[in-house]
Structure 1
Amino acid sequence: MAAPVRARFVVVGGGISGVTCAEQLAAQFPSDDIYLITASPLIKAVTGLKQVSRILEEFEVKEQKSTELEKLYPNIKVVQAAARELRSAERKIITEDGAQFIYEKLCVCAGAKPKLIVEGNPYMLGIRDTDSAQEFQKHLSKAKRVVVVGNGGIALELVYEVEGCEVVWAIKDKAIGNTFFDAGAAEFLITQLKSEKPKSPLTCKRTRYSTDKAAGREDTQVGSALGPDWHEGLNLKAGGEFSHRVHIEPQCGVQRILLQEEFERLNITASCPPSQGHGPSPEAATWPVYVQLNNGKTYGCDFVVSATGVVPNVEPFICGNNFDLGDDGGLKIDEHMRTSLPDVYAAGDVCTASWKPSPLWQQMRLWTQARQMGCYAAKCMAAELQQETIDMDFCFELFAHVTRFFNYKVILLGKYNAQGLGTDHELMVRCTKGLEYVKVVMQNGRMMGAVLIGETDLEETFENLILNQMDLSIYGKDLLDPNIDIEDYFD
């Protein structure tokens, strides 16, 4: 066995948080080797970073070979192997191929893994990384009906992007997109599901994938999150001669998944979604798999997409180590991104923020926070090594996220869904069908959050109003009057 490699810094994970952390460390410590351990030859790199406002950022994510990162940062050494074991008492990380790395500082950025409804079912797909998205595309090409379970970002985009195939969408909430917006915003967006998509889709400016089959990527249970625009470059069209045919089953969950033989043995009557004006629903004597919902309905389909969220990928690290874990299973971190173990930090989806947060911030497992956490973790590691004090990054003062759903720009700020505000708040809404949806959350005359859908150009003004906590009571409904340029008030 080869001798252990001794390194000042080891980062585990080739997603946004891990790569950002390694890049920041490489820039701060150009004479030190930074070891980045990742299970895949493809890593996620942030490019085209654009500062929209003080906190709000837009950026492209390019999936590329690890050699590109090494060219850009010669002191980053990418190790293509899955992490198998952490021996924190020995400050040692061991990979699947037996290689050992003794670290001075370790940052765990191992991401999360899909939370599948059932494991081992050949007709169940979980979409998490580029490989699983391409597997979905392959199955879709011959499908007549799919059942999508889940109400998060990937489910939202999937049901909109799929064409020529009937979609039954099972959600646990009353309205779509409950994680991101309220019923009013959901109603604004849902009209897009009932209309034909534009023939020339809007240009997508954030995510680009360049996969190389020759890279020999192995199948792995865990991959870097796809994030927004995961469908870019994929042909998500089945054989049907229609665009959208989506039937939503609200406020329900999956009771069980039945293969064809079991379904026939139990003599259950299958449900059929309405045609929604696009012609008859595809009929079949049998389907390979059936989804029995707890609302009494059972739908047959060609395959099931489990888009029911993720769980932190902590398994390779917790065995034999006394980590404090959050309620969601993530590695607990303090305000300096430190876990409960000495010299072990964590960032991104694998961790749970356990400091007392700003009244305007909450953790969500999104790409924007993965980048912010990875960068800040590197700065905290550096500060501790150099025995310097460091203030918490300003990005943790206000939750801010930009994405795109149903071809609309979507911006979320602060307590955009009145998270944690109880009943002591009021909502103000402005909506122009097909154009924009603006909602602000007010408490005691102060703006606490906002949802902006469409090209509103209000993000910078509203971000400042939320951060400044100015008393806006005197403006009343004029705050959202479309005939008043609100920016003029607060220049």
Structure 2
Amino acid sequence: MAQPRRIVILGAGLGGATAAATLREHGYSGELVLLGAEAHRPYELPALSKGVLLGDAEEPDWVRDAGFYEEHDIDLRRHTIATRIELGARRVADNQGGDHPYDRLVLATGSQPRLLPVPGAGLPGVRTLRTLDDSLALRAAFADAERAVVVGAGWIGTEAAAAARRHGVDVTVVDRIAAPLLPVLGPEVAEVFRNMHAEQGVHWRLGAGIAEIAGDSAGVRAVRLADGTELPADVVVAAVGVSPRVELAHAAGLELADDGGVAVDASLRTSAPDVFAVGDIASHFHPRYGRRVRVEHWANAKNQGAHVAANLLGEHEPYTAAPYFFTDQYDLGCEYRGLADPDTDRLVVRGDLGTREFTAFWLREGHVTAAMNVNAWDDGDALQRLVENRPPVDEKTLTDGDLSAIG
């Protein structure tokens, strides 16, 4: 297959920027355009809800050093948003009046935070956490606040609550679910996080919905719950998930998947010739699971961005990596590998949930679907093999045996 003369990448987040850098590392010498909405050069997201928000870091982890893009002839266009894709003409228009013909196109447009669907959601003091500027603004708000309400008990919500407590803010977390992180971890492991936050002074209002955010042009004053309870607040964090940015893809006529993402095959190709998608928007037919998977975590964007480079240059390699993410909250650090269904998979624990030093395994038909190590760092390679190779295992070996000898 002939090498493309011009590759255009829409989205200068981790997935798009990694794709651009990897193309150059693979020896691609054609024109390479990277369109990004932000003023900052491409960066990774994890530090925004961890080191930066905590005040331990002033900058995120940059995808590449400041001079990398110019030195490698990557045309990084900041403040630039694609507004239209013309698949037939193979061109992209942008908000700056630019016109970008392409031979190959990568969609890496990422996600945007969901807004709270209640009155008062647009008041000053209601914040989301997705960008570097969001993180810095929320950190400043925590520094001035006495009381915060976090709406959402997922990963961003629990990390935001931990950061608020570091800043000395009185925090209440509200969610309709019965325990934090319940859909991902199941009740037993979710209780570990609930207890840890309670020990740190976080108040839980679980199984509760919000009806309104009260305040005025000066800012928020309180969050009113559906049962009439009023929670005073100087700042409200909306941490109710994200939506993939698929408007461009939809308008262009690309096939979308039932999960809201852009449908891509095992090698990350969309329904249109020479158009690929990576990261949060990619609903990827995953050979490991035999179905579509859309993952909104940092490692997926990075790994898919790196993987797609070879396919842009003519390969057809399937993307087979298992999902991975990590979190740091107070004195708890953990890594999660794989993709479990805690409602149906069997939980097996190595170590002690009570001391928060353990490894949790989720089993299905004698194979590990996911493993999460919590404050336990010696078995990472073994856990990766268990998730990727899926050898048959028994519970006794997982709880007491030599994990390095499996798989």
What range is the shorter-chain TM-score in?
Answer: 0.7 to 0.9
Return the match for 2:386 from 445, 453, 465: 465
Listed one character per residue, the Cα deviations across residues 36-82 of structure 1 (whole Å, up to 9, x for unaligned) are 11122323357xxxxxxxxxxxxx96237885232452x21112222
After TM superposition, the score normalised by the length of structure 1 is 0.71
1:427 matched to 2:323? The reply is no
Higher relative contact order (CA 8 A, sep 6+): 1
1:412 matched to 2:336? The reply is yes
- Give the equivalent residue in structure 2 for 1:104: 103
Which structure: larger Rg?
Answer: 1
Listed one character per residue, the Cα deviations across residues 403-452 of structure 1 (whole Å, up to 9, x for unaligned) are 4333323122223444xxx64x4322234333412222223333332222
Return the match for 1:257 from 191, 194, 213: 213
| Alpha-carbon distance change, 189 to 361 in structure 1, aligned in 2, over 3 angstroms | farther
**SS of equivalent to 1:369:** helix
Return the match for 2:245 from 297, 302, 313: 313
State the superposition RMSD in angstroms.
2.9
Maintained 8 Å contact 1:333/1:345: yes
1:113 matched to 2:112? The reply is yes
Listed one character per residue, the Cα deviations across residues 319-362 of structure 1 (whole Å, up to 9, x for unaligned) are 3x212222343222122212222222111112222456526994
- Give the equivalent residue in structure 2 for 1:62: 61
> Structure 2 matches for 1:94-173, cutoff 5 A?
94-118=93-117, 120-162=122-164, 163-173=167-177
1:247 matched to 2:246? The reply is no
- Give the equivalent residue in structure 1 for 2:399: 480
Q: Percent identity?
A: 24
| Alpha-carbon distance change, 431 to 360 in structure 1, aligned in 2, over 3 angstroms | farther
Residue correspondences, number: 383
Q: Which runs of 5+ in 1 are unaligned?
A: 1-5, 47-59, 196-243, 262-285
- Give the equivalent residue in structure 2 for 1:40: 38
- Give the equivalent residue in structure 2 for 1:198: none
**SS of equivalent to 2:182:** coil
Q: CA deviation at 1:172?
A: 2.3
- Give the equivalent residue in structure 2 for 1:440: 361
C-alpha separation between the residues in 2 aligned to 1:154 and 1:85? Answer: 31
Maintained 8 Å contact 2:324/2:337: yes
After TM superposition, the score normalised by the length of structure 2 is 0.84
Listed one character per residue, the Cα deviations across residues 192-216 of structure 1 (whole Å, up to 9, x for unaligned) are 3344xxxxxxxxxxxxxxxxxxxxx
* Counterpart code for 2:143: S
**SS of equivalent to 2:88:** helix
**SS of equivalent to 1:340:** coil
- Give the equivalent residue in structure 2 for 1:379: 310
* Counterpart code for 2:357: E
* Counterpart code for 1:182: G
* Counterpart code for 1:86: I
**SS of equivalent to 1:182:** helix
**SS of equivalent to 2:144:** coil
C-alpha separation between the residues in 2 aligned to 1:14 and 1:453? Answer: 32
Q: CA deviation at 1:471?
A: 3.0
> Structure 2 matches for 1:270-281, cutoff 5 A?
none
**SS of equivalent to 1:44:** coil
| Alpha-carbon distance change, 64 to 333 in structure 1, aligned in 2, over 3 angstroms | closer
C-alpha separation between the residues in 1 aligned to 2:11 and 2:71? Answer: 18
1:331 matched to 2:262? The reply is yes
| Alpha-carbon distance change, 121 to 351 in structure 1, aligned in 2, over 3 angstroms | farther
C-alpha separation between the residues in 1 aligned to 2:115 and 2:334? Answer: 27
| Alpha-carbon distance change, 313 to 42 in structure 1, aligned in 2, over 3 angstroms | same
1:342 matched to 2:342? The reply is no
Q: CA deviation at 1:460?
A: 1.9
Q: Which runs of 5+ in 2 are unaligned?
A: 45-58
- Give the equivalent residue in structure 2 for 1:186: 190
| Alpha-carbon distance change, 464 to 360 in structure 1, aligned in 2, over 3 angstroms | farther
**SS of equivalent to 1:63:** coil
| Alpha-carbon distance change, 407 to 363 in structure 1, aligned in 2, over 3 angstroms | farther
- Give the equivalent residue in structure 2 for 1:293: 225
Maintained 8 Å contact 1:181/1:451: no
Q: CA deviation at 1:7?
A: 5.6
